[in-house]
């Protein structure tokens, strides 16, 4: 199944948005109308640098979100950014692993979470934060699958990763000028110097981590405007979906990414 399989028909019911304030920040949850009385899977979605929860939610069709029967959790980055791999790369100034742990703990205290089906995705620096969460961990939480978009590892690549092999599908534009396909240096003018890792090198790192036995993918799969390659001879599959375009949020694909991720559980 492609990580962006065809969208589902719109539901009659509509999800609702709940805003929550914590001591160290805030988050919003898109709650499906079907949640009472049953455990539900959770998707933690991390916005990009200079992003906001409000702008993320504006791009979301609540009827389609309702049909996914999943809690969609949108945390707000401090100063609209994130602290990646424990460094101040994004300028957050907050312990974001502790914050995201508090968010997930609070979600579980309010709603009947299915802990075997907890997923994570993110856009741009949120994609980097997705990988940070996987490898550095949130205490008490394990993720069943991940889908970072338009962002990944920074140099140097981590020497170790605490996550077990985890299904992961990366989405990236071939004409992205913010996080180029080959990777680029972020200069002092833009808050650097930092070096982005190229998409193919990033995916190769995950193939090694997920213990794939071949560097050659299965036959490509076309999914709308995406061309997807998958490595399935692994302890957990790795995917790369490319599109002919630049650096843009992929909210129109978010629910289809979730459909792919929900195949997996811990």
pLDDT in tens, 24-71: 999 999 999 877 778 899 999 999 999 999 999 988 888 888 888 899
**Range 189-202 average pLDDT:** 87
pLDDT of residue 10: 39
Between 92 and 246, name the one with better pLDDT: 246
Q: What integer best gives the mean pLDDT of the chain?
A: 89
Degrees to nearest 5, angle at CA 6 with 250 and 180: 30
pLDDT at 237 over 90: yes
Three-state secondary-structure class, residue 207: helix
Q: What is the pLDDT of residues 238-265, one digit of tens each?
A: 999 998 999 987 666 777 788 889 999 9
Rounded distance, CA 47 to CA 83, Å?
13
Q: What pLDDT shows up at residue 259?
A: 87
**Minimal CA–CA distance to 241: which of 227, 253, 260?**
227
- Kindly tell me if the per-residue pLDDT of 81 is higher than 80: yes
pLDDT digits (tens, 9 = 90+) for 148-173: 999 999 999 998 899 999 999 999 99
- Residue 169 burial (C-beta neighbours within 10 Å; 0-12, 13-18, 19+): buried
- Name residue 22's beta-bridge partners: 25
| pLDDT digit string, tens, across residues 8-33 | 343 346 789 999 999 999 999 999 98
d(CA 190, CA 154): 15
| Joined tokens for residue 214 | 């071949």
């Amino acid at each position: 199944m492609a990580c962006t399989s065809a969208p589902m028909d719109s539901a009659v019911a509509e999800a609702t948005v709940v805003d929550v304030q914590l001591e160290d920040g805030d988050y919003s949850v898109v709650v499906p109308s079907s949640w009472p009385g049953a455990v539900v899977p959770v998707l933690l979605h991390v916005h990009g640098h200079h992003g906001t929860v409000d702008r993320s939610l504006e791009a979301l069709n609540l009827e389609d979100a309702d049909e996914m029967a999943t809690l969609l959790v949108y945390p707000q980055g401090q100063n609209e950014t994130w602290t990646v791999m424990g460094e101040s790369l994004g300028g957050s100034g907050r312990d974001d692993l502790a914050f995201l742990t508090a968010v997930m703990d609070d979600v579980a205290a309010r709603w009947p979470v299915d802990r075997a089906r907890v997923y994570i995705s993110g856009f741009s620096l949120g994609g980097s934060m997705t990988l940070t969460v996987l490898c550095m961990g949130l205490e008490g939480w394990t993720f069943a699958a991940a889908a970072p978009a338009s962002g990944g590892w920074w140099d140097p690549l981590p020497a170790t990763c605490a996550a077990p092999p985890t299904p992961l599908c990366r989405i990236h534009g071939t004409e992205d000028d913010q996080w180029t396909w080959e990777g680029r240096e972020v200069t002092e003018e833009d808050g650097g110097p930092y070096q982005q890792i190229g998409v193919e090198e990033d995916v190769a790192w995950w193939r090694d981590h997920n213990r794939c036995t071949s560097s050659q993918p299965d036959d490509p799969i076309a999914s709308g405007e995406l061309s997807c390659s998958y490595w399935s001879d692994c302890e957990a599959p790795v995917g790369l979906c490319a599109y002919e375009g630049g650096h843009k949020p992929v909210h129109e694909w978010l629910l289809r990414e979730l459909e792919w991720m929900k195949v997996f559980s811990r």
